[in-house]
Chain A
Amino acid sequence: MSKGKTTALFVLLFLGDIAVLFANLITGSADISVSDAVTAIFGEENAASDILWKIRIPRALAALLLGGALSLSGYLLQTFFHNPIAGPFVLGVSSGAKLIVAISMIFAAGIFGSLSSAFMIISAFVGSMLSLGFVLLVSRRVKQMSMLVVCGVMTGYICSAVTDFLVTFADDSDIVNLHDWSMGTFSGTSMDNVKVIFILVLMGVLGTILISKPIGAYMLGESYAQNMGVNIKLLRALLIILSGLLSASVTAFAGPVSFVGIAVVHIIRVLFKTSKPLVMIPACFLGGSIFCMLCDMIARTVFAPTELSISTVTAIFGAPVVIIIMLKHKLGEMNG
């Protein structure tokens, strides 16, 4: 693909991001006109200010940042496993994070009162690492890539079942928000949350950009990467930690969100026709944010005032893409 086309696609993605962000601000149960929205954002206060600054802007920004983070997390896991259908949701990483967050919400909240976001993030990160550790243990034994995904999905089901069990028997006061959260939602995000999310995601993205060079070498397989002077152990550890950090930020603030990490990365690859990390990393981030903001808009507007969980919407658009990838690669090749 020529440089001109790549640049044009980046410009399109960027404009798309801004357009979807803005569309998110003016849609919803309260009617806000475009001019009101623009004045509220850039000018003085008006009737729309409160709704925008307290509800819609933080929510849309959360979808933007976390959507990008999810898609990038998927990209890193796919790189790690050399497998196009790896992602934080199918490998059970999101569910592992959900389980540990639920446990800390129920047990720690009883002791400390409400949970700080730092505590949520740490729990989610620990949960991500535990379930990834489990998947890694399994991956040593199974050489087939399709089997790895099956193990991940099963891990996810076990974690979800335990979470459901805990939620069912927990005191109502402990789990005021747990039920909504465990289904996945961007609602209830505050501007303070957005600041924390921004810092976490920024760290994840910068870290990923810094290892873009060894990621490129790693695509030729471990032996060749080693021959080029890549420290394989360090790179593998960084891939896992960064993808865990990114997907844990998502789970901590929005609960588990399905299929974004696979679907978006695939669409971006098809669009850009390249696997160059320096192109893929920013493109996946932009694509993921557009995808999540669109899905969140659908989740909250289509059946308003009832809200769908975000995973319901992302699964409807994302799961078919996974099926397409599997058909494209044919199961035989994926066993390799």
Chain B
Amino acid sequence: MDKTLISADRLSVGYGKRVIVNGVEFEVKQGEILTLIGPNGAGKSTVLKTIAGYLKRLNGTVMIGDQDLLGFSEKEMAKKLSVVLTERIRPELMTCREVVETGRYPYTGSFGLLTQKDKEIVNTAMEAVSMQDFAQADFNSVSDGQRQRVMLARAICQEPEILILDEPTSYLDIHHKIQFFEILQGLAKERQMAVILSMHELDFAEKISDHVLCIKEGKITLSGTPDIVFIPENIMGLYGIPEKYYRKYFG
């Protein structure tokens, strides 16, 4: 029986008192991928930030395993859950490798010095995203797509059970999108991680997801397996696309 790693029940998310999305419910077991889709500004990022513990939830529960998210210390959470965010970072004078190394933070001692084992984990993570040749390159000098792969390697280094990614593939070309999704599926299947991500690439979402949540106008409008979610009526309704355009571009 596969273990449920993260779940939400009647969850409301938002800022301060302003509710952005209501009634979020899901359950992700080890080895599964959950995808959030929906129009821009629907609140996908807000949901992700809340279940990652950055935003205070307004109502409902988020469980990590069988314990409430709030019961974990920062250190414990860091070993359970790792993120790739949309915010662009510009660290001064850091190499790609140094950025990846920060993923080992929860495991190192008081001065953050890496052991031989840590270094090997960093190497493996950089190879997994094919960035080993750019290890010594300045993080600010590589392309957006390469930076995104570095951030994924950083998240992998953290050896989490749960991986949360906010539109991770937006800057990637088709080749690197495929590579990125292959890595994610590998992490889910081989390392038994629970993966939650938001994205706009519906064609990929259909292929890689075990479960899909559709978010629109502050609600979960639909939740289910890809074969239930990805039928033309649902997608037209979710994104507000008139039928003739849907036919023209997707038909």
Contacts and interface: CB of A to CB of B under 8 A. Distances in A.
Contact of B99 (A213, A220, A223, A269): A220
Contacts of A223: 54, 83, 85, 87
Given A226-B74, A229-B75, A229-B78, A210 B102 contact: no
Contacts of A212: 111-112
A173 B103 CA distance: 60
Interface in B63-114: 73-79, 81-83, 85, 87, 89-94, 98-99, 102-103, 105-106, 108, 110-112
A224 B89 contact: yes
Contact residues on A (Cβ < 8 Å of other chain), bracket: 20 to 34
A219 B91 CA distance: 6
Contacts of A4: none
Nearest to A209: B111
A231 interface: yes
A201 to B, nearest CB: 20
Contacts, number: 73
Contact residues on B (Cβ < 8 Å of other chain), bracket: 20 to 34
B52 interface: yes
B189 to A, nearest CB: 24
Contacts of A28: none
A244 to B, nearest CB: 23
A55 interface: no
A217 interface: yes
Nearest to A213: B112
Interface string B34-73: 0000000000000000001110000000000000000001
B185 interface: no
B139 to A, nearest CB: 10
Contacts of B112: 212-213, 216, 278
Given A219-B94, A269-B93, A276-B98, A227 B111 contact: no
Interface string A204-247: 00000010110011011101101111110000000000000000
Given A216-B102, A275-B91, A275-B92, A224 B85 contact: yes
A269 B92 contact: yes
A179 interface: no
Contact of B105 (A213, A231, A273): A213
A51 to B, nearest CB: 43
Interface in A319-336: 336
A276 B90 CA distance: 15
Contact of B83 (A210, A216, A227, A231): A227
B157 to A, nearest CB: 10
Contacts of B52: 227
A213 B98 contact: no
A228 B93 contact: no
21 contacts: A213-B105, A213-B110, A213-B111, A213-B112, A216-B102, A217-B105, A219-B92, A220-B102, A221-B87, A223-B54, A228-B102, A228-B105, A228-B158, A229-B76, A229-B77, A229-B79, A229-B105, A230-B105, A275-B91, A278-B112, A336-B90
Given A227-B52, A228-B103, A275-B91, 15 more contacts: A212-B112, A213-B112, A219-B92, A220-B89, A220-B102, A226-B53, A227-B81, A227-B82, A227-B83, A229-B75, A229-B76, A230-B74, A275-B93, A275-B94, A278-B111
